[in-house]
């Protein structure tokens, strides 16, 4: 079972739809409808933190859930707000982006790691955000996996746990390779479950 934490965002059910098309058994819960212990009791195979209209500190259980998922070795994917939550949960700072980008396309460069495995670099993806993870504050346990030409972080991952984030929206119809990005994460999560 994949648990998707809904941060009250209009893109949540696009993610649900894409993940369902890829064969995931998706259960959706709002970020304030349960606590971390209730999530752990559900024993999800993986967790997805949805986009949302706020910052990580206002995203219900998302910050403590991210660190709890790391401790419990539950694979976790963060999209937009979820990506920012990963950065902040491990000690990075979330700051205002130099420009507000709502519905703009961005050119994503990457090194082919994790969920970017097998994808061309660069590719185009849709951005809807005014906040970013500040590269200068990125903790040692996280690494940048995707970026814009100006160096703005568009993807990150934990070095020792299956925890990945993307600032852009793979679930947007305008984003290239959205299904493949999500498929790659689901495959990694399934492999981690078998290895456990």
Residue 175: its pLDDT value, please? Answer: 95
Q: Supply φ then ψ for residue 10, to 5 degrees.
A: -70, -20
Is 143 one of the catalytic residues?
A: no
Q: What is the pLDDT along the chain (196 residues), one digit of tens a residue?
A: 999 999 999 889 999 999 999 999 999 999 999 999 999 999 999 999 999 999 999 999 999 999 999 999 999 999 999 999 999 999 999 998 877 787 889 999 999 999 999 999 999 999 988 899 999 999 999 999 999 999 999 999 999 999 999 999 999 999 999 999 999 999 999 998 887 6
- SS3 for the chain is CEEEEECCCCCHHHHHHHHHHCCCCEEEEECCCCCHHHHHHHCCCEEEECCCCCCHHHCCCHHHHHHHHHHHCCCEEEECHHHHHHHHHCCCCEEEEEEEEEEEEEEEEECCCHHHCCCCCCEEEEEEEEEEECHHHCCCCEEEEEECCCCCEEEEEECCCCEEEECCECCCCCCCCHHHHHHHHHHHHHHHHHHC
* CA dihedral sign, ordered 182, 185, 189, 190: positive
Which residues share a beta bridge with 177?
Answer: none
Q: Supply φ then ψ for residue 120, to 5 degrees.
A: -70, 150
Is 171 one of the catalytic residues?
A: yes
Options 129, 158, 169, 177, the catalytic residue: 169
Cα 133 to Cα 30: distance, rounded to the nearest angstrom = 23
Residue 52: its pLDDT value, please? Answer: 94
Cβ–Cβ < 8 Å for 31, 5? yes
**Residue 187 lies in domain:** 2-195
Residue 36: its pLDDT value, please? Answer: 98
Residue 13: its pLDDT value, please? Answer: 95
Options 88, 164, 171, 188, the catalytic residue: 171
Options 80, 110, 164, 177, the catalytic residue: 80
Q: Domain count of the chain?
A: 1
Cα 64 to Cα 162: distance, rounded to the nearest angstrom = 16
Can you give the CATH number for the domain in which 26 is found?
A: 3.40.50.880
Residue 87: its pLDDT value, please? Answer: 98
Is 141 one of the catalytic residues?
A: no
Specify burial of residue 164 (Cβ count, 10 A radius: 0-12, 13-18, 19+). Answer: buried
User: Which is nearest to 95 in space by CA: 52, 143, 59, 135?
Assistant: 135
């Amino acid at each position: 079972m994949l648990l998707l934490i809904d941060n009250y965002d209009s893109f949540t059910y696009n993610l649900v739809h894409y993940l369902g098309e890829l064969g995931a058994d998706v259960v959706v819960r709002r970020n304030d409808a349960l606590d971390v212990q209730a999530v752990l009791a559900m024993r999800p195979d993986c967790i997805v933190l949805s986009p949302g209209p706020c910052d990580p500190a206002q995203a219900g259980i998302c910050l403590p859930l991210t660190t709890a998922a790391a401790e419990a070795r539950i694979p976790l994917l963060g999209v937009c707000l979820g990506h920012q939550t990963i950065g902040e949960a491990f000690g990075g700072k979330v700051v205002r982006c130099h420009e507000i980008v709502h519905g703009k396309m961005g050119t994503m460069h990457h090194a082919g790691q994790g969920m970017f495995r097998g994808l061309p670099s660069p590719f185009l993806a849709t951005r809807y955000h005014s906040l970013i993870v500040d590269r200068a504050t990125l903790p040692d346990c996280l690494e940048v996996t995707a970026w814009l030409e100006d160096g703005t972080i568009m993807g990150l991952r934990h070095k020792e746990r299956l925890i990945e984030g993307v600032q852009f929206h793979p679930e947007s119809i305008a984003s290239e390779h959205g299904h493949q990005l999500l498929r790659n994460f689901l495959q990694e999560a399934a492999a981690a479950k078998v290895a456990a």
